[in-house]
């Protein structure tokens, strides 16, 4: 096979990105400089949120969001089975239990009715996933969260730049997570961010990402007795005048800090987000047109009141109408150097989740039916028109 491999996703790096990183390398800070806050403000502004808190990666960001939501060992968190394992693991890191609710068969996102019936008195948060880039049923899910007084965390790793009922994804949930892994819309190498409207949640996440340590006088509990050189005196609350060297560890946090160099790349990347979204949309519409008359392919259904950020393009095979298996189609496409993938193996069927929580096949029939026929085909902004045609031709041939 002489034709080049087309991956399912890929970063888009130009000379301006390289120059931005080179400049950051020559600046005074490599790690905790001013570019982090600048990147946080830029992403928050782009999605219409008050705060952005950046992390080493999206998984760390989800962990911090669960921490800020106050999740602990007695709590339960509900997410979708059709997601990356990180959407569930973030709750487990804090000792909580994970539960799932099944997906809608057309959008592949959480079904609000199933979600509502999965809620128990122990439910403390929902991690709602905008799978493939199309926002989930945010108004319905937010209403459920509000009614049950639970925190709504949106996993928007696929949805930077998506809109829901005319509003950008990023300020529609209590906390919204974006990932800057190279296959996502913009990259910092590894990286992630939570956007939120809530001052207190933002403060908690900032403390969590740096060992649980705060230097913010207003949030401190005690001044350092050594500040006054007084021995044998109990520390006392004196937030107005902490000693200049004083810092406080207020919780068990982590080192989840992103770097200035990465955020310089992120700022540069953000400048081409709109072009990237436009190209992703163009390619997706081209695919949907090309497969519209197929009797064996189901193309992605789009709700008219929301605009996907088109992170993934998933085709579903109507296996009952086909002579081939999904595996045969998948392998044929790989042989044609088309970088197909499957997003995702349902989380509840992963051995760790089966063994620890007793989940089994049959628990979430819609998620399993989706999984059985799903194939992700390449979609990224640096694909050429010729690449798209090659993918289309290869898919049409593989399913015939």
Ligand X SMILES: *Cc1c(COP(=O)(O)O)cnc(C)c1O
Tokens of residue 275, six digits: 């072009």
Question: Is residue 86 a contact residue for ligand X (CB under 6 A)?
Answer: yes
Rounded to whole angstroms, the Cα distance separating 19 from 38 reads: 17
Site size toward ligand X, by CB under 6 A:
14
Residue number, 86 or 99, with CB nearest to ligand X: 86
CB of 370 to ligand X, least distance (A): 15
C-beta of 87 vs 376, nearer to ligand X: 87
What is the gyration radius of the CA atoms in the chain, in angstroms?
Answer: 23
Structure tokens at 153: 């965390």
| List of residues 6+ apart from 56 with CB closer than 8 A | 190, 191, 192, 255, 256, 257, 258
151 counts as binding ligand X under rule CB under 6 A: no
User: Pattern 205-244, binding to ligand X, x per CB under 6 A?
Assistant: ----------------------------------------
Give the residue with the Cβ less far from ligand X, 84 or 359. 84
Instruction: Find the shortest distance in angstroms from Cβ 244 to ligand X.
Output: 36
- Span of 27-35, 79-87, 100-108, 244-252 interacting with ligand X by CB under 6 A: 79-87
**58 is a site residue for ligand X (CB under 6 A):** yes
Check residue 192 for interaction with ligand X (CB under 6 A): yes
Q: What is the contact mask toward ligand X in residues 110 to 139, using x (rule: CB under 6 A)?
A: -------------------x----------
Q: How far apart are CA 212 and CA 261, in angstroms?
A: 23
Contact characters 278-307, ligand X, x per CB under 6 A: ------------------------------
Q: How far is Cα 75 from Cα 67, in angstroms, rounded to an integer?
A: 12
Query: 205 near 65, Cβ under 8 Å?
Result: yes
Contact 167, 48 (CB under 8 A): yes
In this structure, how many other beta carbons lie within 10 angstroms of the beta carbon of residue 228?
A: 13
Residue 107 and residue 167: Cα distance in Å, rounded?
19
Question: Shortest distance, CB of residue 2 to ligand X, whole angstroms?
Answer: 32
Distance of CA 170 to CAs 100, 154, 160, 167, Å? 23, 8, 8, 9
Stretch that binds ligand X, among 54-62, 203-211, 212-220, 239-247 (CB under 6 A): 54-62
Site residues for ligand X per CB under 6 A: 57-59, 83-84, 86-87, 129, 155, 157-158, 179, 181, 192
């Amino acid at each position: 096979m002489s034709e080049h491999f087309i991956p399912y996703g890929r970063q888009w790096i130009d000379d301006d990105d390289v120059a931005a990183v080179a400049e950051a390398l020559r600046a005074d800070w490599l790690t905790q400089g001013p570019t982090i806050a600048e990147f946080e403000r830029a992403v928050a502004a782009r999605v219409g949120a008050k705060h952005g808190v950046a992390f080493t990666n999206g998984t760390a960001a989800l962990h911090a969001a669960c921490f800020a939501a106050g999740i602990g060992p007695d709590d339960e968190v509900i997410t979708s089975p059709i997601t990356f394992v990180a959407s569930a693991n973030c709750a487990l890191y804090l000792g909580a239990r994970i539960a799932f609710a099944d997906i809608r068969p057309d959008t592949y996102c959480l079904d609000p009715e199933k979600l509502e019936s999965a809620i128990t008195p122990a439910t403390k948060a929902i991690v709602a996933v905008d799978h493939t880039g199309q926002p989930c049923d945010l108004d319905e899910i937010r209403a459920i969260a509000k009614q049950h007084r639970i925190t709504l965390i949106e996993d928007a790793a696929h949805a930077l730049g998506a809109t829901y009922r005319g509003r950008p994804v990023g300020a529609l949930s209590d906390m919204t997570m974006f990932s800057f892994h190279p296959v996502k819309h913009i990259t910092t190498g590894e990286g992630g961010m939570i956007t939120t409207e809530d001052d207190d949640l933002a403060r908690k996440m900032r403390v969590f990402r740096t060992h649980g340590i705060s230097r913010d006088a207003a949030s401190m509990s005690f001044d350092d007795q050594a500040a006054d050189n007084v021995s044998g005196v109990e520390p006392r609350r004196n937030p107005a005048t902490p000693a200049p060297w004083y810092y406080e560890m207020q919780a068990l946090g982590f080192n989840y800090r992103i770097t200035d160099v990465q955020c310089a790349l992120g700022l540069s990347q953000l400048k081409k987000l709109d072009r990237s979204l436009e190209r992703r949309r163009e390619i997706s519409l081209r695919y949907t047109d090309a497969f519209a008359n197929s009797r064996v392919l189901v193309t992605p259904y789009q709700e008219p009141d929301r605009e996907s950020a088109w992170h993934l393009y998933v085709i579903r095979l109507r296996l009952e109408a086909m002579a081939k298996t999904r595996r045969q189609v998948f392998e044929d496409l790989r042989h044609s150097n088309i970088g197909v993938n499957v997003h995702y193996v349902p989380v509840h069927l992963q051995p760790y989740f089966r063994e620890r929580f007793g989940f089994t096949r049959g628990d979430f029939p819609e998620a399993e039916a989706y999984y059985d026929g799903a194939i992700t085909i390449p979609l990224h902004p640096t694909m050429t028109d010729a690449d798209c045609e090659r993918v289309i031709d290869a898919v049409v041939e593989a399913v015939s």
